[in-house]
């Protein structure tokens, strides 16, 4: 299931990264969906995005500048999760520099895509 490089990682690193990655991509999805739907839309997926991301956005409200327009706030908060993953994950893995190993979730997804559509 896991690519060989991730078999050597402690499971807690993968769990932390997957949780942070899912939150980040959900926030990005909400911003993208907001291009086509209003936040109070009756569309099922928009309701889900809003329901699950509102608590996260409220946590970051104290550091969100007031000049950012509403539809971009989830993208702004997603940037924090990107930064957590980019700097925290290599630190937890014991690396002093960032690299491909900063994003196990995306690397795992890419490996599966390569298996399906690869050369």
pLDDT tens per residue, range 24-81: 999 999 999 988 888 888 888 888 888 999 999 999 999 999 999 988 999 999 999 9
> What is residue 85's predicted lDDT score, i.e. its pLDDT?
82
Asked whether the CA dihedral 117, 20, 62, 91 is positive or negative, the reply is negative
> What is residue 101's predicted lDDT score, i.e. its pLDDT?
53
Average pLDDT of the segment spanning 13-17? 83
Kindly state whether residue 76 falls inside one of the protein's structural domains. yes
- pLDDT interval class at 95 (50, 70, 90): low
CA distance 15 to 1: 15
Number of structural domains in the chain: 1
Kindly state whether residue 5 falls inside one of the protein's structural domains. no
Each residue's pLDDT tens digit, 105-116: 777 787 888 888
Asked whether the CA dihedral 38, 42, 43, 48 is positive or negative, the reply is positive
Domain that includes residue 86, residue range? 11-117
Tell me how many degrees the CA angle 79-5-116 measures, rounded to the nearest 5. Answer: 80
Kindly state whether residue 2 falls inside one of the protein's structural domains. no
Q: Per the structure block, which two tokens stand in for 65? A: 């500048």
Statement: residue 11 has pLDDT above 90: no
79 vs 4, which has greater pLDDT? Answer: 79
> What is residue 86's predicted lDDT score, i.e. its pLDDT?
80
Kindly state whether residue 6 falls inside one of the protein's structural domains. no
Q: Per the structure block, which two tokens stand in for 29? A: 């999805």
């Amino acid at each position: 299931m896991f690519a060989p490089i991730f078999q050597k990682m402690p499971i807690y690193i993968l769990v932390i990264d997957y949780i942070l990655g899912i939150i980040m991509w959900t926030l990005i999805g909400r911003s993208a969906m907001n291009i086509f739907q209003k936040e109070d839309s009756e569309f099922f997926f928009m309701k889900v995005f809003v329901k699950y991301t509102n608590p996260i956005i409220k946590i970051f409200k104290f550091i969100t500048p007031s000049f950012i327009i509403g539809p971009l706030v989830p993208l702004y908060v997603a940037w924090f999760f990107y930064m957590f993953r980019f700097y925290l994950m290599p630190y937890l893995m014991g690396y002093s520099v960032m690299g491909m190993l900063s994003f196990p979730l995306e690397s795992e997804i890419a490996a599966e895509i390569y298996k399906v559509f690869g050369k």
